[in-house]
Amino acid sequence: ILYGTSGDVRDEINAFANPGNAGHYVDEREVPGTSILRGLRTATHMINSFLTVVYADQIPFDSASDVPVFLDDIAKDLATYYCWRTNTARLKPISEEKKIQYYDAYMAEPDGILPKLRDRKMQLPELNSAYTDEVKAVREQGRAPIFDVDNETDWGVDPNTVDDIEQERNT
């Protein structure tokens, strides 16, 4: 299971790829999808190497739905850094400010988030609680299925839910 998503990494890169060229979108030629996946894989392995020390019985995760959103966010940022660094020739060198934001904040010893988690100076509530409701990943928090799950035969889109979603978007 990889933490984070490739779309989020590409969005992060696009957010500051070329501010002088309004509307520029980093595409497959500049940042190939394989490079993003390699960055996510590296980020996932790095996160696991720090957290296995503390959460050995829970990591690695068996399902993407079990991954806490916080770890997804860390993976996205680390993958953004790895991907940017790999594609510097096509983009531009990553600034020191962005390196601190996307890498050092998580990896720097001893104040980065991952070393703090490893050294038990921080905890992940989703992995520490004895109550099953708190242990659940928060990835789906605030979301509801758009299908009428109470109907045993018709699993089409529930029109009431679609209306509710449309109303929420318009407010």
**Counting beta carbons within 10 angstroms of the beta carbon of residue 74, is it exposed (0 to 12), middle (13 to 18) or buried (19 or more)?**
buried
Neighbours of 117 (CB within 10 A): 23
Beta-bridge mates of residue 127? none
Cβ atoms of 31 and 10 within 8 Å: the answer is yes
Instruction: Please write the tens of the pLDDT for every residue from 46-62.
Output: 999 999 999 998 898 88
Cβ atoms of 25 and 14 within 8 Å: the answer is yes
- Compare 63 and 130 and report the one with higher pLDDT: 63
Q: What is the pTM of this model?
A: 0.73
- Compare 35 and 90 and report the one with higher pLDDT: 35
Instruction: Please write the tens of the pLDDT for every residue from 107-140.
Output: 999 999 999 999 999 988 888 765 544 444 444 5
User: What confidence score (pLDDT) does residue 135 get?
Assistant: 43
Cβ atoms of 112 and 69 within 8 Å: the answer is no
